[in-house]
Amino acid sequence: MRTVEILEKCYGPNAYRGLSKISHHLTELCKTLEVEVSLLEYDTRGWVKIALSGEDEEVFSNYLEKEYGLIQNTIDHVEVGKTLRGKVIDSGSVGYGLYIDLGINQPKEIDALVPLHELRVQLVKGQKISLREIIHTFCLFDNLTLEIVPTEVDLDKSIIEARLSNSQLSILADWKETNLERILVMGATRSQVRDSLVRTGHKRDVLRIEDMGLLESAVICKLGTRAKGLIPILGRLLHGVSFHLFLPRVAREVYGKP
C-alpha cells in the first residue's frame, strides 16, 4: 500500500463534494486496473490524501502525478529554477509578498514567498503598487493554483523565494488582453456553479465555465455581460463560497499606469 497527496485541496462547506468528485473519477479509472483506493481524505490544510493498494498501484500513482501532480512534503525536493505548482495561502495577510502553499509540512510547514518587488516587476512593470491592489487586480486569492519558479532555497533557514513562471504570466496576460470579464469561484465544484447559473436563468450570459481545480472555476461572461451583477445572484445559492471579480480593463489600466 502507498499513500500519496495530490495537488488539490478540499475546504469550506463543499469540501465533501470535492472528495466525492475525486472519488467518482478514481472509481471509473480503477475499473481497468488492479488497484483499490482504500482511503480518501484531506489534511488540516486541505491537501487530498489517497491510499492505494494492488498490483497496479505504481501505475495508478504515476497517473495521479500526471493528472493532478503529487506533493513532496519536504523542502529537499525544491530546486532553484525548477517549476512547481502550489496554492495561494493567507492572501494579503502580509504586505511584503504572496505566500504559496506547496504542501511542505516536514519537519514543519514551509510556504514559498513571491516577494512584492518580484510581483511588481512581473505584473505591473515595476510600479510602486501595493500588494493589496495587485492581489485584487489579478485575483491572486486563497486557493488559486499558481505555477512558480524558486529563485532562492535556503535549507538551513527553511526559506523559499520564488517568482511566477512564464506560463503563469502568459495565463494572466491572456486574461488581461481579452475583453471578457471573469468571476473566479473558490469553494464550489464546476457542476455546482453550472447548476446555479441554470437555476437562475443566467447560463445564457456565460460563454463558458473553466475548471481551474477541484473546487475552483472561472465563469467567463459573454461580451457585454457585467460579471459584477452575477456575483450576488450566485451567492444566494452558493453559500460560504468566495467570488472574485477579474476585469480586463482594470488590469490593463493598472499595468499601464505611468
Position of cell 472561472?
218
Residue 172 resides in a domain: no
CB 210 within 8 A of CB 185: no
Residue 202 resides in a domain: yes
CB within 8 A of 236, min separation 6: which ones? Answer: none
Q: Do the bridges between strand 159-164 and strand 145-154 make them parallel or antiparallel, or are there none, so unpaired? A: antiparallel
Mark 185-194 as b/e (b = at least 16 C-beta within 10 Å): bbbbbbebbb
83 and 146 fall within a common domain: yes
Per-residue pLDDT tens over the stretch 23-66: 998 888 888 889 988 889 999 999 999 999 999 999 999 999 99
Q: How far is CA 249 from the centre of its chain?
A: 23
Q: What is the largest CA-CA distance in the chain?
A: 61
156 and 237 fall within a common domain: no
For 219, the domain range is: 178-255
Looking at residue 219, what is its pLDDT? Answer: 98
Report whether pLDDT(1) > 90.
no
Looking at residue 148, what is its pLDDT? Answer: 98
Q: What is the pTM of this model?
A: 0.95
185 and 245 fall within a common domain: yes
Looking at residue 206, what is its pLDDT? Answer: 97
Looking at residue 38, what is its pLDDT? Answer: 82
Residue 173 resides in a domain: no
Q: What CATH code is carried by the domain that includes residue 190?
A: 3.30.70.1150
* Sequence-ordered strand ranges (E) for 102-255: 111-115, 145-154, 159-164, 182-186, 206-211, 216-221, 242-246
Per-residue pLDDT tens over the stretch 102-141: 999 999 999 999 999 999 999 999 999 999 999 999 999 9
162 and 188 fall within a common domain: no
Residue 61 resides in a domain: yes
Nearest of 140, 138, 153, 142 to residue 104 by alpha carbon:
153
82 and 140 fall within a common domain: yes
- Mean pLDDT score, 156-167: 97
How far is residue 212's CA from residue 61's CA, in Å, rounded to a whole number?
22
Looking at residue 258, what is its pLDDT? Answer: 65
Of 167, 202, 230, the position where a domain reaches its end is: 167
51 and 118 fall within a common domain: no
For 225, list phi and psi in degrees, rounded to 5.
-85, 130
97 and 31 fall within a common domain: no
93 and 162 fall within a common domain: yes
SS3 state at 243:
strand
Q: What CATH code is carried by the domain that includes residue 44?
A: 3.30.70
> First and final CA of the chain: distance in angstroms?
58
Q: How many domains are there within the chain?
A: 3
Looking at residue 243, what is its pLDDT? Answer: 98
208 and 130 fall within a common domain: no
83 and 155 fall within a common domain: yes
CB 57 within 8 A of CB 35: yes
Position of cell 473566479?
184
Of 110, 137, 167, the position where a domain reaches its end is: 167
Mean of the per-residue pLDDT values of the chain: 95
Q: Which cell numbers hold the place of 188? A: 464550489
Q: What CATH code is carried by the domain that includes residue 117?
A: 2.40.50.140
How far is residue 137's CA from residue 254's CA, in Å, rounded to a whole number?
8
Looking at residue 33, what is its pLDDT? Answer: 87
148 and 116 fall within a common domain: yes
99 and 153 fall within a common domain: yes
Report whether pLDDT(257) > 90.
no
Per-residue pLDDT tens over the stretch 80-99: 999 999 999 999 888 999 99
Residue 246 resides in a domain: yes
Of 48, 67, 86, the position where a domain reaches its end is: 67
How far is residue 188's CA from residue 53's CA, in Å, rounded to a whole number?
30
